[in-house]
């Protein structure tokens, strides 16, 4: 069984995943798969074709790519077309038995069918802006660009999700996680 944990940047997806991992649950993260890809020479070559100035001597300048994609929707779409299918396939391939919790930011309707349950972490824009600026040590103005870019994504409809409200205390969020976990079917671990 695969449980997707999705939501916009700064909503608290990573907190939920860390909590579940700390409880001994199997977890995967799209961000960690992306970091693996950034060490793969064939993937880096594909990135170089899209972002020639951001790849030098086989090394990817992630900050420069972020600056480009949050100022150029066309480049953002090119990156998404390259990265999302590879990342999604990797996450699905690695979670083929037992119960898995998979952090999948920006989960869209076209890939939602690959998951048995979808938990959507939501937080107001003010909370998210503050969290991302502090976490990533970037200006609120740049965070606002990221938030604006995400407004255009065709995210999974709430009717298919269990909603976790993260406007406030972390313990409140984790209690919601515990409640959702209690309602999951018991999965026999098979390899």
List, for residues 132-148, the tens digit of each pLDDT value. Answer: 999 999 999 989 988 88
- As given in the structure block, the two tokens for residue 178 are 């515990």
For residue 113, what pLDDT is reported? 83
User: What gap in Å lies between CA 90 and CA 161, rounded to an integer?
Assistant: 22
pTM: 0.87
Range of the domain at 41: 2-182
- As given in the structure block, the two tokens for residue 65 are 């790519």
User: What gap in Å lies between CA 15 and CA 145, rounded to an integer?
Assistant: 23
The answer to whether position 86 is within a domain reads yes
The answer to whether position 115 is within a domain reads yes
171: domain CATH number is 3.40.50.300
The answer to whether position 44 is within a domain reads yes
For residue 3, what pLDDT is reported? 96
The answer to whether position 187 is within a domain reads no
Longest dimension (CA), the chain: 50
In 3D, which of 181, 191, 11 has the Cα closest to residue 103? 11
Q: Which string of b and e fits 130-169 if b means at least 16 CB within 10 Å?
A: ebbbeeeeeeeebbebbbeebeeeebbeeeebeebebeee
The answer to whether position 188 is within a domain reads no
List, for residues 99-127, the tens digit of each pLDDT value. Answer: 999 999 877 666 778 899 999 999 999 99
Number of structural domains (the chain) is 1
The answer to whether position 190 is within a domain reads no
The answer to whether position 107 is within a domain reads yes
Average pLDDT in the 14-37 region?
A: 96
Query: How many other CB atoms are there within 10 angstroms of residue 3's CB atom?
Result: 22
DSSP state of 5: E
The answer to whether position 54 is within a domain reads yes
């Amino acid at each position: 069984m695969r449980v997707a944990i999705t939501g916009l940047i700064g909503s608290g997806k990573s907190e939920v995943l860390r909590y579940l991992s700390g409880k001994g649950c199997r977890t995967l993260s799209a961000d960690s798969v992306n970091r693996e890809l950034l060490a793969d020479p064939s993937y880096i070559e594909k990135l170089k074709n899209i972002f020639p100035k951001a790849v030098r001597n086989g090394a990817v300048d992630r900050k420069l790519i972020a600056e480009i994609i949050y100022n150029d929707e066309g480049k953002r779409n090119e990156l998404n077309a390259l990265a999302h299918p590879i990342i999604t396939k990797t996450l699905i391939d690695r979670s083929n038995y037992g119960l898995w919790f998979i952090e999948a930011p920006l989960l869209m309707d076209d890939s939602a069918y690959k998951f048995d349950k979808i938990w959507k972490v939501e937080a107001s824009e003010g909370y998210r802006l503050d969290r991302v600026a502090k976490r990533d040590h970037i200006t609120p103005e740049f965070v606002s660009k990221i938030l604006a870019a995400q407004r255009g994504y065709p995210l999974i409809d709430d009717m298919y999700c269990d909603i976790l409200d993260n406007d406030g205390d972390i313990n409140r969020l984790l209690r919601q996680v515990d409640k959702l976990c209690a309602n999951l079917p018991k999965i026999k671990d098979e390899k």
